[in-house]
Chain A
Amino acid sequence: MEYSISDHKPVIGIFTLELTKMQQTALVSLRAEGDWSADIDSMVLYQPLQLFPSSTWDWIGLYKVGFSSVSDYITYTWVKDDEVVFNDEVMQVFMSKEGIPVRGGECVLCYYSSNLRCIIGLSEPFKVQESKVAVAEGLFPERINGLDKIAGSEEF
Chain B
Amino acid sequence: MAESDNKSANVLAQETAQLEEQLQGWREVILAGDRVLRWEKPWFPGALIGATTVVFLLIYYLDPSVLTGLSCTVMLLCLADYFVPTLALKVFGSNKWTTEQQQRFHEICNNLVKSERRVVGWWKRLCSLKEEKPKVYFASVISGLLAVAWIGQQVHNLFLTYLIGEFDFVPTVTLR
Question: When the two chains form their complex, are residues B4 and A92 in contact, meaning their CB atoms are under 8 A apart?
Answer: yes
Considering the chains assembled together, what is the distance between the CA atoms of A94 and B113 in angstroms? 13
**Contact stretch, chosen from B32-40, B67-75, B78-86, B116-124:** B116-124
> Least Cβ distance of A150 to chain B in Å?
23
Residues of B within 8 A of A57 (CB): 125, 128-129, 132
Measured between beta carbons, the chain B residues less than 8 angstroms from A78 are: 121, 125
B142 within 8 A of A: no
Distance A108 CA – B125 CA, assembled complex (angstroms) = 26
Residues of chain A with a CB closer than 8 A to B121's CB = 56, 78, 80-82
Residues of A within 8 A of B120 (CB): 81
Q: Are B4 and A33 in contact (CB under 8 A)?
A: yes
Residues B12 and A115 in contact, CB atoms below 8 Å apart? no
Q: How far is the CA of A126 from the CA of B48 in the complex (A)?
A: 46
Q: How many residues of B contact A (CB 8 A)?
A: 17
| B-chain residues with CB within 8 Å of residue A82 when the two chains form the complex | 117, 121
Taking the closest CB of chain B, its distance from the CB of A47, in whole angstroms, is 12
A27 CB within 8 Å of chain B: no
Please report which residues of chain A, range 25-49, place their CB below 8 angstroms from some CB of chain B when the two chains form the complex: 33-34, 43, 45
A/B pair count, beta carbons within 8 Å: 45
Main secondary structure of the interface of B (DSSP, over half): helix
- With an 8 A cutoff between CB atoms, is B100 at the interface? no
Which single residue of chain A is at the shortest CB-CB distance from B127?
Answer: A56
Q: Is the CB of B12 within 8 A of A86?
A: no
Within 8 Å of chain B (Cβ to Cβ): is A84?
yes
A55 within 8 Å of B (CB atoms): yes
How long is the Cα–Cα vector from A86 to B11 in the complex, in angstroms? 10
The reply to whether the CB of A96 lies closer than 8 angstroms to some CB of chain B is yes
Query: Is the C-beta of B5 less than 8 angstroms from some C-beta in chain A?
Result: yes
Contact A81 B8 (CB under 8 A): no
**In the bound complex, do residue A115 and residue B132 qualify as a contact, i.e. CB atoms below 8 Å apart?**
yes
With the chains together, A134 CA to B53 CA distance in Å? 39
Contact with B along A49-89 (1 / 0, CB 8 A): 00000011100000000000000000000101110101000
Q: Is B173 an interface residue, CB under 8 A from the partner?
A: no
Type the 1/0 row for B126-144, where 1 means its CB is closer than 8 Å to any CB of A.
0011001000000000000
B7 at the interface (CB under 8 A from A): yes
CB of A90 within 8 Å of the partner chain: yes
Q: Is the CB of B12 within 8 A of A84?
A: yes
A84 engages B124 (CB within 8 Å): no
Q: Are A84 and B128 CB-contacts (below 8 A) given A33-B1, A78-B121, A96-B114?
A: no
Q: What is the interface of chain B, defined by CB distance below 8 A to chain A?
A: 1, 4-5, 7-8, 11-12, 114, 117-118, 120-121, 124-125, 128-129, 132
Offer 11 A-B interface pairs, CB within 8 angstroms, sorted by A.
Answer: A34-B5, A43-B5, A43-B8, A45-B4, A57-B129, A84-B11, A84-B12, A86-B4, A86-B7, A94-B12, A96-B114
